[in-house]
Structure 1
Amino acid sequence: MIRFICLALTLYSGISMAQFTLIHNVNGYTPTRSGDIKTFATLVIKDGKVVRIGNKQLAAQYPKASKFDGQGMTLLPGLVDAHGHIIGLGNNLSRLDIREANSVEQVGQQLKVFSAQNPKGWILGRGWDQTRWTPNRFPTAADLDKFVKDRPVVLTRVDGHAIWVNSMAMSLAGIDAQTASPAGGEILRHTSGNPTGIFIDKAENLVKKHIPPTSTAHLNQALNKAGEHLLSLGITSAHDAGIDKQTWKLYQSRSQSQTLPLRIYAMLSAADPQLDSMLKAGVYKDKRDMLSIRSVKIYADGALGSRGAALLKDYKDRQGYRGLMLEQPQHLEQLIALAVKHGFSAHTHAIGDRANRLVLDSYESVFKTIGGKLLRNRIEHAQIVEPDDIPRFKTLDIIPSMQPVHATSDMHMAEQRLTDEQLKGAYAWQTFLQQGSKVAAGSDFPVELANPFHGLHAAITRMNAQHHPQQGWRNHERLTRTQALQAFTLDAAYAAFQEFKLGSLEQGKWADFILLDKDYFKVPEQEIRDIQVKQTWIAGQLRYSHD
């Protein structure tokens, strides 16, 4: 039986916050700021924070404490996902999910069923990936029209950097052969010049701006759904990579009413027309560390799967084409400078090697002119980096915020898109660590599944769910179990200025922890992916239980 405990923090349980709480009979591990792993059998909590960890004899020193028997389960700090999209995840849980579809026909059949079950309005979905299909080609509006033609359909690619729409959606948006591709975007066309139904990066908004706005009630529902899902996976804190004004208001309201389902570090979306007003409102941080808003998410290029990642050299499978910069260097600098001037960190999406270089150049220029180097600025993804640019992350104090599952999801597609030379600095986690950079790990949910044990498995093995390739893809970049756990805990917390509050079970920090069905440090590598979370606790309070 699964139980979620989602009441306000002030109402949680009969345990008085003035009492000690004792979690005993556990197989505990925690990373520490000194870099080693400490083991323990007993965890002592008071007022939601860690008092001590120690051996089983420690329990005798707290005879009046409220006791919880961990039944020998493995205990780890709550996991931190340093890059996800919370409302997007919540939406996905109630929209058409086509992640597992292996052909246009399968998408169509799922669409037909979903349309019958949801008979009104626009049909929205996500998850298609044409690189997994045979033939491997972008689909068209006509492919969707065969299944649904009397309602607008908008299906987002798995990476979020392209949409596939039917003819009705294009008609309602007034899009035809004369519609021009915007800067930083591309409308794919037939030889006749008519749009195919695929809109990449900034071209997406030509259609998406016509979708009816989301209600606050729907946003609340999406947040609750996402929170339940993340807690069930052992994620106690998530970094939300780009929120709009409506979500900004929602998060603050839920923070003030003490009803946020998990800890959130939110980045303001640089694409939101009301960015200035959010910046002028200043940094937001609540006293319980449930919500922190102190950074801006900037978008430099697209994604590799839709050939939107900006490269220094041509795509291997599309000669003469080098991807898309969503922002030109001058505007990138302006956005970074805007964030820094308001005391906000700049976290910039960059996937291709050209995008990474231009973003590094932009940070360097801003730091020289107005400062901001100490704001723990980040490059989100940092997937394909020219090897000579990797040391610049350390020199400029830029945190590589990376998602291990991207490497194992992308490996076959990446080899189709890029030459071996272009891949030399790809998904280079170990190289970054060896130069002294902190890697903040995440999943990029709902682009990937949110399960952090999939990410830990990918980081440690460089293998996919089928345990291929046998020795791991480009396995010199794999991480140790300790390094991987650190990336999903303390280093992710560091990337949010929270390493003295979260990420480990050291004295004085919030008692966020999870209980597991297997020992993360001792199970065979191939079983790490299958570890199940039995309980999730935040600030010493049980928030999820799978009995």
Structure 2
Amino acid sequence: MSSLLVANGVLFSAGVLTEGDAVGVRDGEVVATGTRHEVRGVMGVVDDELDARGGLIAPGFVDAHIHLGGGAVDALRCDLAGADSLAEIERRVRAFAAGSTASWIVGGGWDPTLFPHSGPTAAHLDALVPDRPALFLDADHHGAWVNSAALQAAGIDHDTPDPFDGRIERSADGTPSGTLREGAMQRVSPLVPPADTVDVARALHAISRDVIATGITGWQEAALGLYAGYPDFSDAYRQLTTSGNLVGRATGAIWVPRDLTRDTIDAFVADCVERARANTAAGFPTRTAKLMLDGIIETRTAHVCAPYPDGSHGLSYFDPAVVQRLVPALNAAGISVHVHALANAAVRDALDGFASVPAAVRAGVRNHIAHLELVTPSDVPRFAELGVTANCQPYWACRNDLVRDVTLPLLGADRADALYPFASLRRSGASLAMGSDWPVSTFDPWLGVHVAVTRRPPGDAYAEPLGAAQALPLSVALDAYTRGSADLLGLGPGTLDRGAPADIAIADRNPFAGPADGIHETRNVHTIIAGELVGG
């Protein structure tokens, strides 16, 4: 049995600052909180003591929607994340291609705001990679930039129709321009040679250590399945868990394929149950299915009730009748459903699907909807009524360049105050959880908490808030990112209560003592998982 006393800090648990300045841990569990003297009295002799130096001692953050596997594969490819100019993108692509003998040049992370709304062109990429097919996913992973060789390899030409779940961007004469949206990516991505599982596991392990260093102790891998050129990451996770090399508490969500029909639901559910059993037996709990109902607003693929300026309503990837049969079947089999729904029509379809499940069955699972950029006000109370958790990605809820330059012109500035209605959901009684959606945006939870509280980009104290009425108190945002997400993923209470798993994040300061505009400056200095100091 090992023991640890963390003292000289400020305690936060279950949504409130608590009395005392110390927490005691033994054999992987919290055994006491209170003053250092009180905790010492309970524990007696301890093996180690850690000085929190006045910082916040909180339950570990739990990221309820993250793509660590995708980030791991991206690390093996040409990484365009953070490139802030076309010149830098071009430099990275040329350098990677020059140093690679691979039959395909693959990468991702390009910033859509650096290109026209119609996306980059094949001709542009041809100049950078002229000798073989190339595919680069955008930062949102909802679009791909391909060169002419990739289009030719996939057989995409003037006469190729758009798939039901995507769009091929085209030049004025109807020829494919080089940008593929959503399901159109699937015409090319299956041709990409798969990454080696050993390499993916190695990259996943390295990235998980970076994630843990920010105070994250658990997460949900948000899509386990073949999509957009990514493999099913289950094999890599199982390799790490069976070898004992995975430190954090990872869970997974099994991807629901877009070609699912009413006739194939039963077979899919049976397969889902078996895959969940195999992963869970290997130490990778997989109790959830991931159902993606729409795209994103910025490419007009999110499913909206009121039309975009061009008269379209976006894309709906599943017929509501399929959703209303699939969700009850999964829940009846003990599988929770994690829905991607950006816009209000998709959110309504998701809620209608959950309403199709008998209340007694719903009570036995943990259903949730992620992203929630736009929700019709009359649908807000349905979350609490149906026991559906709002899985929020708070870092997006501010007037960043994408929102200001693309989102609001498409939706109308009058909708700015309605976006990401976190406070409305909370007031209606909905349970809140939080996640990052990394690598789409940063996995640092303190940056997400900052935006949830201020509705401003970190470091921009004078920016106009995006819907100030939807801001959350710091205590609520922090509780959602700890207790809310931990409960949603079945990772314990997410508190510092006695008997709880000793998963703890220690910050370099007490953010409750300073101005809200300084929350983003908070840094995690120590991460404890199951009573062991593992990061920071």
Instruction: Indicate the residue corresponding to 1:9 in structure 2.
Output: none
Aligned partner of 2:123: which letter?
A
Aligned partner of 1:537: which letter?
I
Name segments (4+ residues, structure 1) moved above 6 Å: 272-275, 284-288
In the TM superposition, what is the alpha-carbon distance from 1:403 to its structure 2 partner? 0.3
Give yes or no for the alignment of 1:101 onto 2:87.
no
In the TM superposition, what is the alpha-carbon distance from 1:38 to its structure 2 partner? 1.5
SS of 2:18's partner is strand
Does the 8 Å CA contact 1:255/1:286 hold for their aligned counterparts? no
Aligned partner of 1:55: which letter?
T
Instruction: Indicate the residue corresponding to 2:296 in structure 1.
Output: 303
Does the 8 Å CA contact 2:457/2:463 hold for their aligned counterparts? no
Does the 8 Å CA contact 1:268/1:275 hold for their aligned counterparts? no
SS of 1:212's partner is coil
Task: Could you tell me which runs of 5 or more consecutive residues in structure 2 were left unpaired when the two chains were aligned.
Answer: 227-231, 261-267
Q: 1-side partners of 2:530 and 2:280: how far apart?
A: 14
Q: 2-side partners of 1:60 and 1:321: how far apart?
A: 64
Instruction: Indicate the residue corresponding to 2:265 in structure 1.
Output: none
Higher helix share: 2
Instruction: Indicate the residue corresponding to 1:392 in structure 2.
Output: 382
- Within the candidate set 395, 399, 405, 1:405 is matched to 395
Instruction: Indicate the residue corresponding to 1:113 in structure 2.
Output: 95
Instruction: Indicate the residue corresponding to 1:377 in structure 2.
Output: 367
Instruction: Indicate the residue corresponding to 2:477 in structure 1.
Output: 484
- Within the candidate set 15, 18, 33, 1:53 is matched to 33
Instruction: Indicate the residue corresponding to 1:7 in structure 2.
Output: none
Does the 8 Å CA contact 1:240/1:266 hold for their aligned counterparts? yes
Alignment of 1:19-34 (within 5 A): 19-24=2-7, 26-32=8-14
Does the 8 Å CA contact 1:376/1:399 hold for their aligned counterparts? yes
In the TM superposition, what is the alpha-carbon distance from 1:286 to its structure 2 partner? 6.2
Does the 8 Å CA contact 1:87/1:226 hold for their aligned counterparts? no
Q: 1-side partners of 2:272 and 2:117: how far apart?
A: 42
Does the 8 Å CA contact 1:502/1:512 hold for their aligned counterparts? no
Task: Could you tell me which runs of 5 or more consecutive residues in structure 1 were left unpaired when the two chains were aligned.
Answer: 1-17
Q: 2-side partners of 1:172 and 1:134: how far apart?
A: 24
After TM superposition, the score normalised by the length of structure 1 is: 0.89
Does the 8 Å CA contact 1:386/1:424 hold for their aligned counterparts? no
In the TM superposition, what is the alpha-carbon distance from 1:259 to its structure 2 partner? 2.5
Does the 8 Å CA contact 1:283/1:343 hold for their aligned counterparts? no
In the TM superposition, what is the alpha-carbon distance from 1:282 to its structure 2 partner? 4.9
- Within the candidate set 519, 541, 544, 2:532 is matched to 541
Q: 2-side partners of 1:66 and 1:352: how far apart?
A: 52
Give yes or no for the alignment of 1:83 onto 2:65.
yes
- Deviation string 1:458-488 (CA, Å, 9 cap, x unpaired) is 0111001341653522111111110110010
Instruction: Indicate the residue corresponding to 1:214 in structure 2.
Output: 195
- Return closer, same or farther for 1:58/1:228 CA change in 2, 3 Å cut-off: same
- Deviation string 1:89-132 (CA, Å, 9 cap, x unpaired) is 222334333233344443222211222343433222222233x2
Number of aligned residues: 518
Give yes or no for the alignment of 1:270 onto 2:263.
no
In the TM superposition, what is the alpha-carbon distance from 1:377 to its structure 2 partner? 0.8
Does the 8 Å CA contact 2:4/2:50 hold for their aligned counterparts? no
- Within the candidate set 126, 134, 141, 1:145 is matched to 126
SS of 1:192's partner is coil
Q: 1-side partners of 2:178 and 2:423: how far apart?
A: 40
- Return closer, same or farther for 1:275/1:423 CA change in 2, 3 Å cut-off: farther
Does the 8 Å CA contact 2:384/2:430 hold for their aligned counterparts? yes
Q: 2-side partners of 1:275 and 1:98: how far apart?
A: 37
Give yes or no for the alignment of 1:337 onto 2:323.
no
Does the 8 Å CA contact 1:336/1:363 hold for their aligned counterparts? yes
Instruction: Indicate the residue corresponding to 2:234 in structure 1.
Output: 248
Aligned partner of 1:312: which letter?
C
In the TM superposition, what is the alpha-carbon distance from 1:277 to its structure 2 partner? 2.1
In the TM superposition, what is the alpha-carbon distance from 1:331 to its structure 2 partner? 2.1
Give yes or no for the alignment of 1:179 onto 2:160.
yes
Q: 2-side partners of 1:226 and 1:502: how far apart?
A: 26
Instruction: Indicate the residue corresponding to 1:133 in structure 2.
Output: 114
Q: 1-side partners of 2:389 and 2:126: how far apart?
A: 45
Q: 1-side partners of 2:396 and 2:93: how far apart?
A: 27
SS of 1:482's partner is helix
Instruction: Indicate the residue corresponding to 1:279 in structure 2.
Output: 273
Aligned partner of 2:157: which letter?
D
